[in-house]
Amino acid sequence: MKLLRVEILVAAEQEDLFVGYLAQRISWGWEVEAAEASRTRFVIYFEKDADAQDLVKAVRGQWPEADCSVSTFEDRDWSESWKEFFVPVRIRDTFMVLPPWLNSETDAGGLIPLYIEPKMAFGTGHHATTALCLQAVAMLREEQAVSESATFLDLGTGSGILALACAKLGMTGTALDIDPIAVDNARENFALNAVENVTVRRGALDILEQGRRFDLILANILSGPLVHMATDLVSHLQQPGGSLVLSGILRDQSPRVEAAYLALGLPTPRKLVQGEWVALIWSS
């Protein structure tokens, strides 16, 4: 049987969101024969020409920077191979981020499993900005800079992945996101992981009670908002003794973000770097 082969190349910074987008579109009922992916390259095989054209049209409309092409292909037996998109992500010796169809006994390798249902919210663990935050959480716990009874704020929770990591280490916290799709996906992921020690709310910093302080604050947002909200964010950080992790910062924007927080009296942060992305970490 001849299949239609749609190949999509996306930029590295779009990989995480695109995985979620594709997962959602596939779950809406396209008859996908097979699929394969290697980070920024996605190949989907369809039997029906209409489904292939539907995907191409949707991708060209919503992801104009992506390179999308169609060709014909001779079939082979690939049941459920689309799940190959979602390989586990290991974070130090602490966490393994997994799609829900994998098994924690065999696939988590003895690490703490973080099950994430890939949907339209950001945060499958594949993007550097998320991985850097997860590394920071693991590191801060290893160093005992945060205790298992610490309170945390996850600002811009997306899929809920960072809150999930903190909750699975025993901490209790609040996860906020302005996007209702993220709030739904985060709730779904907390239920999937049987995590109950996180309160999820839709909104930004202004919905928090004034004066409420957290032992750990995580914010994987972009440099501009991180600079803009610096005063508000620091007003919710327990001082002394609190830890702050900022991510979503491109290398060349890091000095500007750092300067905004130094101006508020915080010391020079530590940095974790992956590719072009930097995370800034304050702890005592």
Q: In the complex, which residues of this chain contact ligand SAM (CB under 6 A)?
A: 121-123, 129-130, 133, 155-158, 161-162, 176-179, 182, 204, 220-221, 225, 248
CB of 179 to ligand SAM, least distance (A): 4
Q: How far apart are CA 37 and CA 86, in angstroms?
A: 9
CB of 6 to ligand SAM, least distance (A): 27
CB of 129 to ligand SAM, least distance (A): 6
The order of strands in the sheet holding 243-250 is 198-202, 172-177, 151-155, 216-220, 243-250, 277-282, 270-274
Q: Which is nearer to ligand SAM, 47 or 232 (CB)?
A: 232
DSSP codes, 166-178: HHHTT-EEEEEES
Maximum separation of any 2 CA atoms in the chain, in Å: 67
Both tokens of 157, joined, read 């929770």
Q: Which is nearer to ligand SAM, 60 or 201 (CB)?
A: 201
Q: Nearest-5° angle of CA 22, CA 223, CA 237?
A: 105
Q: Which is nearer to ligand SAM, 8 or 182 (CB)?
A: 182
CB of 92 to ligand SAM, least distance (A): 16
CB of 206 to ligand SAM, least distance (A): 9
Residues contacting residue 174 through CB under 8 Å, at least 6 positions apart: 152, 153, 154, 198, 199, 200, 201, 208, 214
3-state secondary structure of 22: helix
Q: Which residues pair with 68 in a beta bridge?
A: 8
Nearest to 140 by CA among 254, 235, 281: 281
Binding-site sequence positions for S-adenosyl-L-methionine? 130, 156, 177, 220
- Beta-sheet pairing, 41-46 with 172-177: unpaired
CB of 149 to ligand SAM, least distance (A): 22
